[in-house]
A and B are shown apart, each in its own frame.
Chain A
């Protein structure tokens, strides 16, 4: 089955700096790659996703890049703010079933 590795497991950045979270996947048939943000005690929220026919996608301060050849994708957050502090999960899917990474706890220091 699919295996998704996510790094780093924790990340601390100063407010205003950029944050990058990276994931690798194993199944070359995977073609959908979402990112979820989960605040403490809350539900995972879909913040951005990318499909295999696209190399990069942006939405305001967040962007995702995909390298299908290398089987890795990354989340980039620019101009980080304290409200960006949360656990971020990557996932991949080749069908309706998502396989999640273990999560990255991002702390933005004011």
Chain B
């Protein structure tokens, strides 16, 4: 049963530090999405990629967030510098591309103190 994997699962860091979250999409999937989930805002799309090319990152604060896909098996989301308001669960999802289905990873719970 193929699944999206994410690391780390939990991260506690101090304000101002750099945070890097990693995602391994399901093998063969060519669309990758980054979401942020908070109680107040729900699930928000931050960025997404198709065939490793960024298609939309309008949901990200550009001054501190960056998303990349160095290769087809790895997507990264970086926050530099981190702020307490970035505390949330960050989900990666991937999809086969031929349809709109998306399958979520287990998430990274980020706490910025």
Q: A residues engaging B (CB < 8 A)?
A: 32, 34, 36, 42-46, 49, 89, 93, 95-103
Contact = CB atoms under 8 A, between A and B. Distances in A.
Interface in B92-109: 95, 97, 99-107
B70 interface: no
A32 B31 CA distance: 16
B42 interface: yes
Nearest to A44: B104
A42 B103 CA distance: 13
A36 B35 CA distance: 14
Contacts, number: 45
Interface residues of B, number: 21
B42 A46 contact: no
B52 interface: no
Contact of B42 (A43, A95, A103): A103
B55 A96 contact: yes
A43 B104 contact: yes
Nearest to A96: B31
Interface stretch (B12-20, B43-51, B60-68, B77-85): B43-51
Interface centre among B43, B48, B97, B107, by most chain A C-beta atoms within 10 angstroms, is: B43
Pick the 3 closest A-B CB pairs, nearest first: A32-B100, A43-B104, A100-B43
